[in-house]
Amino acid sequence: MPEFRNIAIIAHVDHGKTTLVDALLQQSGTYEEHQQIETRVMDSHDQEKERGITIYAKNTSYQYKNCKVNIIDTPGHADFGSEVERVLRMIDSVILVVDSYEGPMPQTKFVLSKSLALGLNPIVVINKVDKPSARCDWVINELFDLFVKLDATDEQLDFPICYTIATEGKAGNESDNITENIQPLFELIMQQVSPAKTADEAPLKMQVTNLAYDNFLGRMAIGRIYQGTVNKNDRVTVIKPDGTKKPAKISEVLVSLGLARVKVPTAYSGDVVIIAGISDIYVGDTIVFDAKESPMPSINIDEPTLKMAFMVNSSPFAGKEGKLLTSRQIRERLERELETNIGMSMDFSDPECFIVCGRGELHLAVLVESMRREGFELQIGTPQVIYQFENNKRLEPIERVSISLPSEFAGNVIAEMGKRKGDMLNLQEHNGSNMMEYFIPTRGLLGFKSQFTTLTKGEGILTSVFEKYEPYKGDIEHREVGSLICSESGTAMAFSLWKLQERGPLFIDPAIPVYEGMIIGEHLKGSDLNVNPTKNKKLTNVRASGKDDALNLVPPRKLGLEEAIDYIGDDEFVEVTPSNIRLRKKYLKESERRQNNR
C-alpha cells in the first residue's frame, strides 16, 4: 500500500514558506529537466504575484523514498487565517518557518497555537541563516518561550530544528554547517512526521476543506480521506454540517503531484485528493459511502472583526466603465465568495447595501480587487469594527501589533500609537533597529498603515493579529486632515490644480473628468473645503507686461484601493470600477451635506 505523509508549512509573512516549497519540489525531482519554473511557484493567483504574499492555501506533493509527501502552503497574513484553520485538520505535522533575525511574530503565535491545540508536533525551520544580522540562538530561545506560553506538551517542546537558506535551496542540522542541498530537511521530515493512518477496508469518509474549479470538470472538492478508498464513478452521500444528506456520483478522482493534477482510478486513505462531479459541494461537507455514517465535526473559524458596506455605484459616472453594475449581480458574486471564503460572513437584509464582514482591511480589499478585475463596478463604505456586548458592556477587538523600524523613527511612532490608545508591551533595540509590541484597538489601526509608512519613510514593518475582546477604549481621532471636494462637474484644469495644490496634496492629474462631490485631494487645515478644479485661466488679446508664471504642478498622490479604504471617513465612499478608483462624499451636493450635518 502507498505511504503518505501530510504536512503544512506555516509562518509569518515574508519568512520564506513559499520559497521553501520551491526548493523541496525542485530537489525532489518533481519537475522534468526541461521545465522552466518560476520562483514562488505556489503563488499562482494574480494578486498573490503582485503583492508578494500567499492569500489562498494550496496543496502540492512530492515523491521521496517510495513515500508521497503532501504539502499545504498556507498564507502568512493574519487576515487570511481562516485559510490556515481549515487545512490544519488534514495534516499530521507542521513545518514552522521562522526568520533568523525577526524570530516569532504575531502571526506565528496565532497559527502555532491552533497547531499545538490539535496535538501536532511541529518541525522548526530557521530560515535566512545567511543574513549578516542572523541571531539563531536568540530566535530558538524566543520560540521555546512561545511554546511554553501556548501550553505545549513536553513532546511538543522537544521540537527538532533545521537551518535553511531557502532561496538557494540549502539546509543543515547546524547553523554553521549548511550543505549544498536541502537533503537534511527531506530526512528530518521522514524521521519526524508519522505516516498517515490508513483504514482502506473501512467505509469511505472524507471532509471537504477547500474548493477548486476546472473549465471541463466544474466544481471540485479538496480534502483528506480519513478512512476507506474512493473510486471514479462511485456513488456516495454528502452530509452537510447541519445533518442533511444528499446522494451524489463522483465523475473523476485526482491527486496533486508537483504542479499537476493527475487523474487516478482509486485514491487511498491518508491521501489528500480532489474529487469532481458534485456540483453543490461546500467547505465543511462530509463525503461518505455509507449514508448511516455521522458527519465529521464542523470546521470552526474565528469570527470576523471588521465589516464594510458594498453598494451599487450611484455616482454621475456610474455605468461608464464596468459591465456588472446591478445589485443582483453584486449579490450573486458575494454569495459565490461565501461558498469558498469561510472566514467571511455577509448580511443581505438590505437589498441596496450588503454588509460584508472579514478578518481585516486586506481581507476585504482582496475581495474588492478581485471583483474589480472581473468587471464589477460598485462603491464601498469605510471599514467599521464589529462590537460584542456582554452584560450590557460594549467590547471591541484588540490586536497584537509587532513593529520593526530604525531607532530614529521610534519617537514619532510611539507618540502616534499613544494617540490611538495603544498599550506598549515590549521594546527592544538591536543593531540600530527597534522592535516594539503593542495591544491596540482594531479601530486604532484603521487608516494607520499609510501614515506609518510616511512616519518611517518606508523603512518600518508593521504586522498585527487579532488577540481578544476588551471593554471599549473611548473615542479615537482617525484623521487630522480634511478633504478637497469638487464643487463643479467638468474637466480638471492644470491652472486650477496649480492654485489648489497649496491647500494640500492632490489625488488627480489635469484633464481628468470630475463631478460635484468627488474628493480630489487632502485639505491640510483639517476641515473639508469645496473647490472648483474646472476653472481655467481667462485669455485676452491684451499683452501682459512680463511673462506668465510657469505652472509647476507637484505630481499627485495616486491612491490604490487599500490606501483609498484607509483614507475615507464615515461620510465618504470609494467608487471602484475596472479602470479607476475615485473618492467621493456620501452626499454629493454641498446643500445636502450641510443639511445632513445639522
313 a known binding residue?
no
C-alpha triplet 448, 450, 454: angle, nearest 5°: 110
Q: Is 558 annotated as a binding residue?
A: no
320 is in an annotated binding site: no
User: Across-strand partners of 437?
Assistant: 402, 426
Which single residue is written with the C-alpha cell 521545465? Answer: 35
Q: Provide the b/e sequence for 205-228 (b: ≥16 CB within 10 Å).
A: bbbbbbbbeeeebebbbbbbbbbb
Question: Cα torsion for 105, 106, 109, 110, to the nearest 10°?
Answer: -140
Report the length, in residues, of the chain: 598
Contact 55, 45 (CB under 8 A): yes
The annotation status of 76 as a binding-site residue, yes or no, is no
Q: For residue 300, say whether it is annotated as part of any ligand binding site.
A: no
Residue 135: Cβ within 10 Å count: 18
β-strand 3-11 against 93-99: which pairing, if any? parallel
Q: Please tell me whether residue 43 adopts helix, strand or coil conformation.
A: coil
- For 148-161, letters b (16+ CB in 10 Å) and e give eeeebeeebeebeb
3-state secondary structure string across 343-411: CCEEECCCCCEEEEEECCHHHHHHHHHHHHHCCECEEECCCEECCEEECCEEEEEEEEEEEEEEHHHHH
179 has binding-site annotation: no
Integer Cα distance of 209 and 222 in angstroms = 6
Lookup: cell for 244: 442533511
130 is in an annotated binding site: yes
340 is in an annotated binding site: no
Q: What is the DSSP letter of 94?
A: E
d(CA 136, CA 461): 20
- For 51, residues 6+ apart whose C-beta sits below 8 A from its C-beta are none
Note the helical H segments in 193-343. Answer: 327-340
Which residues, in sequence order, are CB contacts of 8 under 8 Å at separation 6+?
71, 72, 73, 74, 84, 87, 88, 90, 91, 94, 95, 115
Q: Is 19 annotated as a binding residue?
A: yes
Q: What DSSP character marks residue 555?
A: P
Q: Whole-angstrom Cα distance, residue 54 to residue 77?
A: 8
**Is 15 one of the annotated binding-site residues?**
yes
How far apart (Å, rounded) are the C-alpha atoms in residues 86 and 299? 6
Q: Which three cell numbers stand for residue 305?
A: 472583526
Per the CB < 8 A criterion, the answer to whether 295 and 243 are in contact is yes
* Binding residue numbers: 14-19, 127-130
Can you say which residues are annotated as belonging to the binding site for GTP?
14-19, 127-130
